[in-house]
Amino acid sequence: MTEDIRPLAGIRVVEMTHMIMGPSCGMFLALLGAEVIKVEPPEGDKTRKLTGMGRGFYPTFNRGKKSITLDLKQNAGRDALHKLLKGADVFIENFRDRSLAKMGFAPEVLRARYPQLIVSSLKGFLKGPYENRTAMDEVVQMMTGMAYMTGPTGRPLRIGSSANDIMGGLFGAFAVLAALLERGKDGKGHVLRTGLFENCLLLVAQHMVQFDIEGREAPPMPEREFSWPVYDIFETSEGRQIFVGAVTEGQWETSSGWWRAGSRAFRTLDC
């Protein structure tokens, strides 16, 4: 979003989240122009100290935000958070329900105290038998079959990024935008809940529908039946790998010209 297009300018968001799903929700709102204030514990967000694959979590998903440290185990810290919420439009959280209630910040309590506040809860699961369980991206990839569809048969594989967490944050931001539009009509705040598991179900929905239509399990993506004749990875004579996709007649006509001209330069990879 460019600096001159900031649809959420003037909107204040208080974010009390950690890891990726919650912070990415706040990041998307910040990119749209909202003032996002991240609440961290006295020792700082845990992702600040991660190494290896987690090294980029904090700087990636917390850019464009302000930050404040509060000790919510103390009355002074809780009072300070209430002062922030009093002037806020949106509150984002991804704590366990019972932990939030213990601190006195359960969504229903906040809605009663701040009628115009939009409370966005980003959780592992929506209402149901698992609603009090925590979850992580890789966990729900295994539960929903996403990992099965990514790796070859018998070797479930996590996808190569935190795409599910990020998409969950995007859905959370999408819901906040809808709630802001609704508040503009009725003047009331709303309580929202986004589930990581249900988000991942959408990502594998096409395979579930395929099963419903064909009556058989869809093969994993490495062994999938292509819908188009040319949609694969090829290797050049110099050993470079390229992906070629021709999904329409026009694309095939365009690609077949240079394909015929340099056919000796390519051989199909067995993958």
In a domain, 222, yes or no: no
Give the helix ranges, DSSP H, for the chain: 21-31, 57-61, 75-86, 97-103, 107-113, 137-144, 146-150, 163-186, 196-203, 205-214, 249-261
Domain count, the chain: 2
What pLDDT sits at residue 133? 92
Helix (H, G, I), strand (E, B) or coil at 260: helix
Residue 92 near residue 100 (C-beta atoms within 8 A):
no
Q: Is 108 in the same domain as 190?
A: yes
Percent of the chain predicted with pLDDT > 70: 93
Q: Predicted confidence band at 202 (pLDDT cuts at 50, 70, 90)?
A: very high
Q: Is 20 in the same domain as 124?
A: yes
User: End-to-end CA distance of the chain, in Å?
Assistant: 38
Q: 188 vs 266, which has greater pLDDT?
A: 188
Q: Is 59 in the same domain as 185?
A: yes
Span 52-69, average pLDDT: 96
* Mean pLDDT score of the chain: 92
Q: Is 150 in the same domain as 258?
A: no
CA separation for the pair 105, 111 (Å, rounded): 10
pLDDT digits (tens, 9 = 90+) for 128-146: 999 999 999 999 999 999 9
What pLDDT sits at residue 263? 56
**Farthest-apart Cα atoms in the chain, separation:** 75
What pLDDT sits at residue 258? 63
Residue 62 near residue 48 (C-beta atoms within 8 A):
no
Query: If you search the block for the tokens 């991240």, which residue do you land on?
Result: 38
- CB atoms near residue 92 (< 10 Å): 29
Q: Is 251 in the same domain as 169?
A: no
pTM: 0.87
Q: Predicted confidence band at 177 (pLDDT cuts at 50, 70, 90)?
A: very high
In a domain, 2, yes or no: no
> Per the structure block, which two tokens stand in for 84?
């922030």
Residue 119 near residue 193 (C-beta atoms within 8 A):
no
In a domain, 223, yes or no: no
Q: Predicted confidence band at 253 (pLDDT cuts at 50, 70, 90)?
A: confident
Task: Name residues whose C-beta falls within 8 Å of residue 114's C-beta, 6 or more positions apart in sequence.
Answer: 85, 86, 88, 189
Q: Is 160 in the same domain as 75?
A: yes
Residue 76 belongs to a domain with what CATH number?
3.40.50.10540
What pLDDT sits at residue 230? 81
Is the pLDDT at 259 greater than 80? The verdict is no
Is the pLDDT at 271 greater than 50? The verdict is no
Span 72-92, average pLDDT: 98
Q: Is 68 in the same domain as 187?
A: yes
Q: Predicted confidence band at 260 (pLDDT cuts at 50, 70, 90)?
A: low
Q: Is 196 in the same domain as 236?
A: no
Which of 4, 165, 212, 270 is flagged as catalytic?
165
Q: 235 lies in which domain range?
A: 230-268
Q: How many CA atoms lie within 13 A of 243 on its CB side?
A: 4
Q: Is 27 in the same domain as 155?
A: yes
Q: Predicted confidence band at 40 (pLDDT cuts at 50, 70, 90)?
A: very high
Residue closest to 136 by CA, chosen among 144, 128, 203:
144
> Per the structure block, which two tokens stand in for 235?
């290797």
Task: Name residues whose C-beta falls within 8 Å of residue 58's C-beta, 6 or more positions apart in sequence.
Answer: 23, 45, 47, 48, 50
Q: Is 182 in the same domain as 91?
A: yes
CA separation for the pair 137, 130 (Å, rounded): 15
Q: Note the Cα 176 to chain centre separation in Å.
A: 14
What pLDDT sits at residue 254? 78
Q: 125 vs 1, which has greater pLDDT?
A: 125
Span 195-202, average pLDDT: 96
Q: Is 29 exposed, middle or buried (0-12, 13-18, 19+ CB in 10 A)?
A: buried
Q: Is 185 in the same domain as 235?
A: no
Is the pLDDT at 67 greater than 50? The verdict is yes
Q: Is 234 in the same domain as 198?
A: no
In a domain, 225, yes or no: no
What pLDDT sits at residue 162? 94
In a domain, 7, yes or no: no
Span 146-154, average pLDDT: 93
Span 161-182, average pLDDT: 97
Is 165 labeled as catalytic in the residue annotation?
Answer: yes
CA separation for the pair 143, 199 (Å, rounded): 12
